[in-house]
A and B are shown apart, each in its own frame.
Chain A
Amino acid sequence: MSELRLPAPRRRHLLSIGDLERADVERILDTALALAAALEREVKKLPTLRGRTVVNLFYESSTRTLASFELAAKRLSADTMSLRSAGSSVDKGESLKDTALTLAAYDPDVIVVRHPSIGAPQLVARYTGAHVVNAGDGKHQHPTQALLDLYTMREALGRLDGLQVAIVGDVLHSRVARSLVQALSLVGARAVVVGPPTLLPRGVEALGCAVSTDIAAIEDADVVYVLRMQAERMAAGEAYVPSLREYTALYGIGPERLRRGQVVMHPGPMNRGIEIDPRVADSDAALVTDQVRSGLVVRMAVLYDVLTVAPVEAQMYAALA
């Protein structure tokens, strides 16, 4: 029985993959593809967001995410500025609410937020009128990473529907895994999360994935998605696995564990020799640099989408398609 659904609320933000529907994901990926074609031209700048302001508010260290959001905004001709917690009034103890209100006083169109605490982008969205894009909040969500991963998979394998993806490693602490599982399930791909029992959150299957503690579960996968194994997880009192040595022996992705035709992805930064063997990281099967490249066009598409696509129009597009 199909249930009667009211129009989705005005989608002004990208806080979680859970806020999206399949049509939204497909539209963003298609926009990214169109933008990628535009970037092939000699002049790599589009006038699309001229006069708009995009603020990057980063409370956590980041190389690729911040760089690609900055560049994405610039390529679309938006004015952009980036604030890091270090060296700003955050150092002086300013609360996130006050920082958000301060930035909001300049009327930015988009605030891109990265923060170590779950719920930070929601708080910025609550106290400002800007469109908020979540660039990673604690262990919760990293929706643009999931979208760029889908984009990369679609480019490499030609489809998403029916694709099998094995996500291997520390799922418990991974916002990437959470967002990706949700996104894969939205587009009709099948995900299995694989890792030691202590790093698989109880109830994770509710996100729409299968769960296994056996590395053999990667065998049927088209994509092996390797998560970063953080050394902090072995700190005293936080010993989720007995040693990195045993972790690597059980779940490390080396050439012997892969079959021909499988591709390997990693959100970076990689710990070579721990979760991923350098021979795999440097092989043709690895799509790691493709992921970084996709990050730029997908983030351009996301900025374009939150600023220009109103929900009613979105529904019209879906109806016409």
Chain B
Amino acid sequence: MTLYCANGRSDSLVVEGRVLSPAQRIDEALRITVTDGVISAIEPGYASNYVVAPAFVDPHVHLRTPGREDEETLRSGSEAAAAGGYCAILAMPNTEPVVDSAAVLGALVELAREQAVVPTGFMAAISKGQRGEELTEMVELAALGAAAFTDDGRPVESAGLMRRALQYSRLTQLPLALHCEEPTLSRGGHAHEGEVAAELGLGAYPSTAESVMVARDLALAEAEGRQIHLMHLSARESVAALDLALTKGLSASAEVTPHHLVLTDDSVRSLDPNVKLNPPLRSEDDRGALRDALRRGAISCIATDHAPHARQEKEVPFEEAPFGVTGLETAFAALYTHLVVPGELALETLLERMSAGPARVFSLDEPRIEVGARANLVTLDLDTEWTVTEAGFRSLSANSWLLGETLRGRVVQTVADGRLVFEA
């Protein structure tokens, strides 16, 4: 059990529509009855305009708690997740203080039991203080419920420490989730190395800053026989390194964000701090490689990397702005609008990579539509258009790259762990 949320009464309800569960090969008009949080009956139903699917799982969110509760709390972040159709989210440990001790993790678990609307898991740090020097007490953290280990926000710079972390993780059987960035190559980088950065004068963050680290970590994982998960891939070269590892049968997985799937560095010309990202938005060629890897399944997860930032921190010149955008409340609609509608990605693939894919990587209960299962369901209206506005967010932060954009497809209802957590 690595997910925690506030205890509430389980709900009883009926949902109906085109039920689409790609992992289970279900695609038919059905009526699903949920009794006390458990799916009790599945019968032929009326094919409404709604699609009912297993709810989403986000393996990568920043909830900013503890330390920056002005940007997000477990309550606001999990409400944002509910509005985005999620039934499970995994929070990153780069908080203040870092989630690197039993005390901090224990306090978070308690807080989640009070505040989290949607089951929430916590990754713990690989190194104490995420300083990249000494390992955290991984066994104790795992026993307390850490979902995985990561130094996200930073790379594990030392290859020696990375190797030890892989070796030691044998005791926890939990994956290491890696933010791949070679800091001497990315230093001073604010945009993908290429024409746009050259034109704007922005410090270049080359693809090799990511791919060199991806290759290193895959080599170490192979040598140690351990499972790693590559976070927020951005570059074609990284995908190539992953493909090679997968053909060798390595236990490696990867995620990609909606913004890396939709945007390119061309957006940076606006100098809008809401397109400043780490890793940076890259070229059309890189974006193509990411889309292709997602279709093939080499990249099996879509992760929002939801990164709330206070308004005043983003209302500064591009170069001074922190990296990151929010994403929980827009992920499905953004990808449906920009990938599914134009025919770039099948709806089935999108749903699978947003739910079963990430659940499998982190050994979470896969949301399934079957009698006897806890209800984890999202209802989607694929026809409605809506405009992304600051006022519409449940998140405490509004640093979205989609502000003002009109999207198609909307989450109308989310059932997470048997509870109705969101209704439009």
Contacts and interface: CB of A to CB of B under 8 A. Distances in A.
Q: Which one of B202, B312, B315, B320 has the greatest number of beta carbons of chain A within 10 Å?
A: B320
Nearest to B206: A202
B201 A119 contact: no
B195 interface: yes
A95 interface: yes
B204 interface: yes
Contact of A204 (B187, B198, B203, B318): B198
Contacts of A141: 201
A228 interface: no
B352 interface: no
Contacts of B197: 201, 203
B194 interface: yes
A182 B198 CA distance: 12
Contact of A95 (B187, B195, B312): B312
B317 interface: yes
Interface residues of A, number: 27
Contacts, number: 75
A218 interface: no
B341 interface: no
A31 interface: no
A38 interface: no
A206 B317 contact: no
Contacts of B203: 139
B319 interface: yes
Contact of A122 (B193, B206, B271): B271
Contact of B316 (A97, A140, A173, A203): A97
Given A118-B202, A119-B271, A201-B204, A138 B194 contact: no
Contacts of B193: 201-203
Interface string A173-185: 1110010000000
A206 B195 contact: yes
Contacts of A178: 199, 201
Interface string A201-233: 111101100000000000000000000000000
Interface string A242-270: 00000000000000000000000000000
A97 B315 contact: yes
B201 A202 contact: no
A206 B206 CA distance: 17
Nearest to A59: B317
Interface in B166-210: 184, 187, 190, 193-204, 206
Interface footprint category on B: 20 to 34
Interface in B337-358: none
A137 interface: yes
A138 B201 contact: yes
B271 A117 contact: no
B198 A139 contact: no
B195 A203 contact: yes
B195 A117 contact: no
A141 B318 CA distance: 14
Contacts of B206: 202
Given A202-B193, A203-B195, A206-B195, A120 B201 contact: no
B194 A203 contact: yes
A117 B320 contact: yes
Interface string B243-276: 0000000000000000000000000000101000
Given A117-B318, A118-B318, A123-B317, A203 B198 contact: yes
B373 to A, nearest CB: 50
A237 interface: yes
A96 interface: yes
B194 A140 contact: no
Interface string B317-337: 111100000000000000000
Nearest to A171: B198
Interface string B23-66: 00000000000000000000000000000000000000000000
Contacts of A139: 201-203
A140 B200 CA distance: 5
15 contacts: A18-B199, A95-B316, A117-B316, A118-B318, A118-B319, A119-B317, A119-B319, A139-B202, A140-B201, A174-B201, A203-B194, A203-B196, A206-B198, A206-B199, A207-B198
Given A97-B312, A118-B271, 12 more contacts: A95-B312, A95-B315, A96-B317, A117-B316, A118-B202, A123-B316, A138-B201, A201-B197, A201-B198, A203-B194, A206-B199, A207-B199
Interface of B: 184, 187, 190, 193-204, 206, 271, 273, 312, 315-320
